[in-house]
Structure 1
Amino acid sequence: LLVEDDLRVADFLIRGLEAEGHSVAHAKDGPEGYARATSENFDVLVLDVMLPGLSGKERCRKPRLRGLATPILMLTATDAPEDKADRPRGGADDYLTKPFDCDGLLARVEALARRGRGFGAGPPPRVVVGEVSLDRDAMEIRKSGRVVELTAKEYQLLDLLMSAPGKVMSRTRILNKVWGYD
């Protein structure tokens, strides 16, 4: 869930996150964001600190007081020392100062999503899309019940694509996830 009142910034963030395979819901102000965060399930909440109707800090503290454990990334325009001292008490799991690098935002969102699922919790051991099943424990692919032999890279590519069926993945994401940065 992205809670951002600046529609240009929100559009930029939504496009960037969706290009990397994330599904993004958007709330335009604090009250809408609070209502959605407490009534729907999200992997990560990305909140602007300065929001109309309810500041990001209040928006962050209220769900925490209600026991919401969803990881929260705060976006802030200020990097003042007094704000830095208050951040850990604000209920957020991480902060990012504007302007920020989109790759840095993506890395933090993905890290918080993993943390929210629990350390060591990985993807499900078995994925089925149509007639194709991928068993991560056995590293085995089956189509219509028959074992399909793949190279290691082909297996990694199929695993990545099956992890988000129906989603378009950017070339950059595929290269980074399957072949790595080097």
Structure 2
Amino acid sequence: MKILLVEDNQEQASYIRQGMAESGHHTDHAEDGHIGLVMALNGEYDLIITDRMMPRTDGLQMLRALRAAGNQTPTLILSALDSVDDRVEGLRGGGDDYLIKPFAFSELLARAEILARRSPVTTQAFQEILQLADLQLNRLNREVSRAAHVIQLNNREFQILEYFLSHPERVITRTMLLEQVWGYNFDPQTNVIDVHIGRLRKKIDLPDSPPLLHTIRGAGYKLSTRP
């Protein structure tokens, strides 16, 4: 899940980003509603999480502008304003859910994952089970198996495999992996990609099974039943 977090409180933003990363999700951060609006209009996100009261452009102003522009990304409003009128105003202003501060991260995560299923970025193509040959990934319970053999992956390996299985038989470049899995750009020549691919290959390409994860020299990688 790719999230846009719009939050002017740096401590709160760091807390949410760390929790989402530990749960296998990537979060881009905007420090106010003005920056958040620009990022939301120029990127594709499964979910927006926004504070309500911020300098320059507040959360509701940002949301109204987004909806007026036709952007329907599911949005969760975070706010210390807890009256019924406040919540109603937030929902009528374009929010899909409203969570009062302070909150438990487990509740934030649960609400975020539910909202993301409605995302126009993911809804059309969302599949609970992704599969190629006898390799299977379950997005909801985060289980991976091949030929009925359960494979243990860390969060980053799971994200990489999920991206490959979402684009089977397609060459995936290092830059695509950096942008879609890591969520930021840095030197595509770094070996961080090769290290993670090497570890993932050892786990999914079993000794008695035909290889599925192939290196395409000079181009990138491909998850395919064919070399």
TM-score band, normalised by shorter chain: 0.7 to 0.9
| Aligned mates of 2:22, 2:136 — CA distance in 1 | 26
| Paired AA for residue 159 in structure 2 | A
| Aligned mates of 2:33, 2:127 — CA distance in 1 | 32
Question: What's the secondary structure of 1:126's corresponding residue?
Answer: strand
Q: Alignment identity in percent?
A: 34
Contact 1:127 1:163 (8 Å CA) reproduced: no
Gap regions ≥5 residues in structure 1 = 142-147, 168-182
| Paired AA for residue 126 in structure 1 | Q
| Aligned mates of 1:50, 1:140 — CA distance in 2 | 45
More relative contact order in 1 or in 2 (CA 8 Å, sep 6+)? 1
Deviations 1:51-100 (A, max 9, x none): 11101011111101111121100001111122123233111111100000
| Structure 2 equivalent of residue 165 of structure 1 | 160
TM-score for the superposition, normalised by structure 1:
0.73
1:2 counterpart = 2:5: yes
**CA RMSD, Structure 1 to Structure 2 (Å):** 2.9
Contact 2:51 2:59 (8 Å CA) reproduced: yes
Contact 1:127 1:162 (8 Å CA) reproduced: no
Question: What's the secondary structure of 1:164's corresponding residue?
Answer: helix
Gap regions ≥5 residues in structure 2 = 139-143, 162-180, 182-227
TM-score for the superposition, normalised by structure 2:
0.59
Contact 1:49 1:56 (8 Å CA) reproduced: yes
| Aligned mates of 1:62, 1:82 — CA distance in 2 | 21
Match of 1:27 among 18, 27, 30: 30
Deviation at 1:121, TM superposition (A): 3.0
Question: What's the secondary structure of 1:91's corresponding residue?
Answer: coil
Of Structure 1 and Structure 2, the greater helix share is in 1
| Paired AA for residue 134 in structure 1 | L
1:82 counterpart = 2:85: yes
